[in-house]
Structure 1
Amino acid sequence: MREEPQASPYRPDPAILPLAPWLADRVEAARFPAATLRYRNDRWDRAVGLDELDEAAWIDHFARFAPLAGNLPQPLALRYHGHQFRVYNPEIGDGRGFLFAQLRDESGRLLDLGTKGSGTTPHSRTADGRLTLKGAVREILATEMLEALGVYTSKTFSVIETGEELWRGDEPSPTRSAVMVRLSHGHIRIGTFQRLLALEVRDHMAQLVDYCLARFPGPQPPPDAPGRDEPAVILMHQAVERLADLAASWMVAGFVHGVLNTDNMNVTGESFDYGPWRWLPTWDAGFTAAYFDHNGLYAFGRQPEAVHWNLGQFAVALRLLADAPPLIAALERFGPLYMAAVARRWCWRLGVAQRGPERDGALVAACEQAMRESGIPPDTFFHRHRGARNAEGALAEALAGYRPTAGDDASYWAEAPPESMLIDEVETIWSAIDERDDWTPLAEKIAAVHRMGDALGAPPAPEGHAPG
């Protein structure tokens, strides 16, 4: 069974407050004309001690943003810069969201409650600071599917419809509005560090590094790593390990994030901020998610390259604190860590025990070739061949000697069709809401995705990677 979040008492810890004067702007939430609760994450509300809130209190905190007890007294819109499609932009930051609260889960992990669609901030520029209800529904579907497929992802915590009509150029308008709250393992981005480099504030950079090391603990660098005792070098190693595993998890899930800018890279290695995402209909390295990604910079097969490039920008930012060679040495670990993570996660999703780097690498290559040649959807492929079943030809040869994972739930894998999250199904779920206010297909899809996640079980995690 997939590991369930453990119940925890409410444990507020607004740890970011000492950094807030230079890291964020205090803001006010928008006043919405209506507040109708549409989604509440009843798996994760108990993990942070908020499961006993009744609906009125939930709406008060997550639509009107009354502060939680002992927590941030006022929302904070975080400041950051970033490379957007590899063009540096200093004019960004939280433009339609803010950090609302920080709390601890049962394991002591520090988690953030952040918003999307909560109104304008000093970083909104010409935007309205709002979120469409369709965008919120898409984020529910993305996070639920990714969590089930073992990706370390933010969790959609709350969606409340807000009664406004929004105009958007990329969907039929006017359209319904919502405010969303996500539960995340921090909101410190590569772009957060890039801003401090641009401003040349070394003392703030050092404070932020110390904050990350203390609040998001991870493994130490390898014993032979140069500069392994320097805080900035330690953080670089941790980010490389975490983001190598994240990139691998997207690839094994067949997921295309769509917008891998440096302001969308969390140094905790958690995937978040879902806009034009897609799942692969077929195994196609050139498949893109964003209609505006004209050159395929963030195409499916280029996602590891994009993450590596972003980590290179992180190393550049940390040069404010450390010499280049130790940071480069950390960055050079990305390739081997990524390949090891792909093999580890591939075998997990396929339901077989690993046999070593050479054999596992050959297995991954054989599976990819089989999908390309047959055109079989990735979700169908992993479902059909779970536990090394139903293999023929070159795939059978590659799977020879692999044993099924002990305790696998054979009954689930005998069923058909497999769960997927292709765009046509997403649009059908949204149409039921938009046209008939029918939320049943969404609820049924979430339940089915949970069942798949239970059958897959918890993914294998590298050392130092916090459980999702």
Structure 2
Amino acid sequence: MMQPPQPSPYRPETSILELGEAFYDPVEAADFPQTILRFRNDRWAAAVGLDGLGDAEWIRHFGRFAPLENNLTRPLALRYHGHQFRVYNPDIGDGRGFLFAQLRDGAGRLLDLGTKGSGQTPYSRFGDGRLTLKGGVREVLASEMLEALGVETSKSFSLIETGEALERGDEPSPTRSSVLVRLQHSHIRIGTFQRLAFFGETEAMARLVEYCLQYYYGETGGEDGPARLLGHVAGKAAELAASYVAAGFVHGVLNSDNIAITAQSFDYGPWRWTPYWEAGFTAAYFDHSGLYSFGRQPEAIHWDVVQLASSLRLLAEAEALTPALSAFPELFQAALVETICARLGVAPRGREPDTTLLVALETALAGRSVLIDRFFFDWRGGRRRAPSPADPVYDGEGFAPFRDAVAGYEGTVSLDHPYWADEGPCSMHIDEVEAIWARIDEADDWSAFEAKIAAVRRMGDAMTASA
């Protein structure tokens, strides 16, 4: 599981400028009628040296977008293309967001502060460049839950209500508006490479490869740079796919412009947690074919990595790139065993991934007789912690292979945290999310939202406790 963020002084950077003006367009943030602070992530603000900002300063930077000290002087809307539901779209880019600042965290990583809902850019097309308040609330909840479950995710850094009435076709309108700031390990995505390949910009592609290797993977460029970069991305993408499965999470829109070059999860629109281990469960109402359903997410992410490889053909021969793509299935399988073991709180056995436990777990849960969250709560540490409402299920014949398989694993976690004495697990299913939003929408009551974040972080603390 991921460790909590490490405190750090403020360490600004502007390395994105090294790429040159062909990669972005300077833009201005919208002038919002209001700026009401609804959420600030002080835990991660401490990791980048910004926890000392008062609320007024916070709003000035993350609602009015006054530049941070010694940082980017103007926001930058990054240019990229992408496949959206397997259809190539050259008319996208940062359409309602921009890169606002860059800095280092306590672990030394280069991070970006990017926005969602900050106004129109050259890539807005017919959009208003805004974010609904409901969309902002949902992104905070998704990123907090994913972080607690050990998924490498962007962090919702700030949410500010902006006082506009927005018209949307997929929710009751007019609806309230917001601007979100996310802290992310790279604003660059696979679609950034696709755009350069589309225009045949060889020199720019080489520069981007070197930039990504240097700043995100700690390596220099060279003739084999494209192949090495693809290998890194494929490995991280396999881990991302595995972490979604282990978390029971469905992103909903795994387009190539939504896959960061670090393969850190980000951009939460129509996400859902699947209540049951149901391969066909989808998050987006418009995903009629189930392209990005729960069980097809590894396939979708692999397909996006293939698009990166296709783009890198501008610099490298196919023979040099093929090994990274061929390794993806094996990397995913190994990562899935590791992430499932991590969520169960047991130590993987042997050097080679043992899929026996994985197959037994998937077979047991595929019967849809127990909720995923309930199952992992009850079996934390690899042993059933009775009593549970699901005990009759666990005692049944369908769970026998799993009971036998998990018996040979050693627990690696502490169960001393009070969370493990609760009656049931902390979850994030759609009914609860809608109920949280309803209280905000109808009565401006943020108590359930704040309580949920506290509960999720408490669960995260319990899950990071070692034996």
TM-score range, shorter chain: over 0.9
CA distance, structure 2, for counterparts of residue 458 and residue 361 of structure 1: 25
Matching of residue 367 in structure 1 with residue 361 in structure 2: yes
| Equivalence for 1:213 | 213
- Match of residue 86 from structure 1: 86
Is 2:407 aligned against 1:400?
yes
* Offset at residue 416 of structure 1 (A): 1.9
Partner of 1:170: 170
Q: Once the 2 structures are TM-superposed, how far is the Cα of residue 399 of structure 1 from its aligned partner? A: 1.2
Distance 2:128 2:350 in 1: 52
- In structure 2, relative to structure 1, the CA distance for the partners of 1:229 and 1:361 (3 Å cut) is farther
Post-superposition shift, 1:300? 0.6
SS at match of 1:188: coil
- Residue 55 of structure 2 corresponds to residue 55 of structure 1: yes
CA RMSD of aligned residues (A): 1.8
Which amino acid in structure 2 is aligned with residue 245 of structure 1? E
Q: What's the CA shift for 1:388?
A: 2.1
SS at match of 2:264: coil
Offset of residue 18 of structure 1: 2.3
Counterpart amino acid of residue 18 in structure 1: E
Quote the Cα distance in structure 1 between the aligned partners of 2:343 and 2:218.
Answer: 25
Counterparts of 1:259-274 in structure 2 under 5 Å? 259-274=253-268
Q: Alpha-carbon deviation of 1:2?
A: 6.2
* Mapped partners of 2:249, 2:4: distance in 1: 23
The equivalent of 2:390 in structure 1 is: none
Q: CA deviation at 1:218?
A: 5.4
**1:383-402 superposed Cα distances (whole Å, 9 cap, x missing partner):** 11112223542221111211
SS in 1 for 2:322: helix
1:451 paired residue number: 458
The answer to whether the 8 Å contact 2:426/2:456 transfers is: yes
What is the correspondence of 1:103-252 to structure 2 with a 5 Å cutoff?
Answer: 103-217=103-217, 230-252=224-246
Q: Give, as a single letter, the amino acid of the residue that structure 1 aligns with 2:296.
A: R
Q: Deviations over 1:347-384 (max 9, x none)?
A: 11001111137773111111111112252111111111
Which of 281, 295, 306 aligns to 1:301? It is 295
Contact (CA 8 Å) 1:150, 1:458: kept in 2 or not?
no
- Contact kept? 2:251, 2:268, Cα under 8 Å: yes
Equivalent residues, number: 453
Higher RCO (CA < 8 A, seq sep 6+)? 1
In structure 1, stretches of 5+ residues that fail to align are 221-226, 460-468
- Residues 249-281 of structure 1, C-alpha deviations (whole Å, 9 max, x = no match): 000000000001000000101000000000011
Does residue 314 in structure 1 map to residue 308 in structure 2?
yes
Q: 1:406 to 1:255 in 2, by over 3 A?
A: closer
TM-score normalised by L of structure 2: 0.94
Equivalent residue for 1:350, pick from 329, 344, 349 = 344
* Contact 1:351-1:408 at 8 Å conserved across structures: no
Structure 1 stretches of 4+ moved >3 Å: 356-360, 406-411
Please tell me whether the aligned partners of residues 95 and 120 of structure 1 are also in contact (alpha carbons under 8 angstroms): yes
Inter-partner Cα distance in structure 2 for 1:228 and 1:332: 22
Kept in 1: contact 2:5–2:47 (CA 8 A): yes
Aligned AA for 2:340?
W
The one of 280, 287, 291 equivalent to 2:281 is: 287
Gaps (5+ residues) in structure 2? 385-393
Deviations 1:396-435 (A, max 9, x none): 1111211211534364333221011000000011011111
In the alignment, which residue of structure 1 is the partner of 2:437? 430
Contact 2:30–2:119, Cα closer than 8 Å, also in 1: yes
What is the match of residue 44 of structure 1? 44
Note if contact 2:337-2:353 (Cα within 8 Å) is conserved in structure 1.
no
Measure, in 1, the Cα distance between the counterparts of 2:362 and 2:451: 31
Residue number in structure 2 paired with 1:73: 73
Decide whether aligned partners of structure 1 residues 358 and 398 sit closer, same or farther in structure 2, where only a CA change above 3 A counts: farther
Q: Which amino acid aligns with 2:243?
A: S
What TM-score comes out, normalization by structure 1 length? 0.94
Q: Is the 8 A contact 2:213 2:219 kept in 1?
A: no
Which residue, 375, 380, 393 being the options, matches 1:381?
375
CA contact (8 A) 1:116 1:130 kept: yes
